[in-house]
Amino acid sequence: MFVSFLDLFGSRAHASPESDFWRWFQRNEADLFDFERDQEAIFDRLAAAMHKVHPSLTFEFGPKENGRREFVISADGIKDAFPKVESLYGSAPAMAHWNFVKFRPRREPFDIEYAGISVKADTVSVLLEPDGQKAGLTVFIPGYDQENHNAYAGIAFLLLDQALGEYDVETRVGYIEVKAPSRAPAQARSLQELPKAFDDFFAGR
């Protein structure tokens, strides 16, 4: 009986890095769901598997809630990797114990310690202004000084990522500036108020 090449290798012909990753995820589901038992080793294996899809992909886990866990697929703010986030999320299988999320979502901003600098989220304010078709943001951080600009800029990006989510920061935000609070105008808003102001800004355009 004649057996075609596609009969023998058809399943592999349709393989992709994304499908390979999800097969790996399903094989290792028990370890991933209870990653706290050996977090460093499991995270190393997971990162290696994701990097086969794209080297910039990373992840976050949510807590266990009602027998399920959130798994966030992130491009780590690298816009070139966004299509791979979409394709990996789009090819995810239905799994009883998992909620899959594409891109780091909006979260309540929390205090940050970065490069030896501690910043309380509720002391930070943001001025939102038009920047072409995008939103320009000026972030006012207590303690800011020009000498440590790079560290404070990193903190600003982390706080905005929390408040607005990874996708909006990378696709709808134009310039991001960092300044001391002494220069903050009355129109500046808290990080907690920023998401609504940001959404209202685009709703009115």
Instruction: Tell me the pTM.
Output: 0.84
pLDDT of residue 204: 76
> 191 and 140 in one domain?
yes
* Alpha-carbon distance values, 87 to 81, 90, 94 (Å): 10, 5, 15
DSSP string, 111-161: -EEETTEEE-GGG-EEEEEEETTEEEEEEE-TT--GGGHHHHHHHHHHHHH
CA distance 121 to 141: 9
Q: What is the mean pLDDT of each run of 10 residues along the chain (205 residues)?
A: 42 76 98 97 98 97 96 95 98 98 95 95 97 97 95 96 96 97 93 97 86
pLDDT of residue 15: 80
CA distance 88 to 17: 9
pLDDT of residue 44: 98
pLDDT of residue 106: 96
Provide the domain count of the chain: 2
* Residue 111 contacts residue 121 (beta carbons within 8 Å): yes
* Alpha-carbon distance values, 163 to 86, 109, 200 (Å): 21, 6, 15
Give the helix ranges, DSSP H, for 112-187: 149-164, 166-172
pLDDT of residue 118: 96
Alpha carbon dihedral 56, 128, 133, 104, in 10-degree steps, equals 30
Name the phi and psi angles at 183, rounded to 5: -100, 5
CA end-to-end span of the chain, whole Å?
Answer: 66
Query: At 64, which amino acid appears?
Result: K
107 within a domain of the structure (yes/no): no
CA distance 127 to 140: 8
> 76 and 154 in one domain?
no
Q: Is 182 helix (H, G, I), strand (E, B) or coil?
A: helix
CA distance 155 to 139: 10
> 190 and 149 in one domain?
yes
> 93 and 12 in one domain?
yes
> 132 and 59 in one domain?
no
CA distance 188 to 153: 18
> 125 and 173 in one domain?
yes
85 within a domain of the structure (yes/no): yes
Last residue of a domain, one of 102, 136, 152: 102
Which residues does 7 contact at the CB level (< 8 Å), separation at least 6?
Answer: none
CA distance 32 to 48: 14
> 120 and 177 in one domain?
yes
Domain range enclosing 157: 112-203
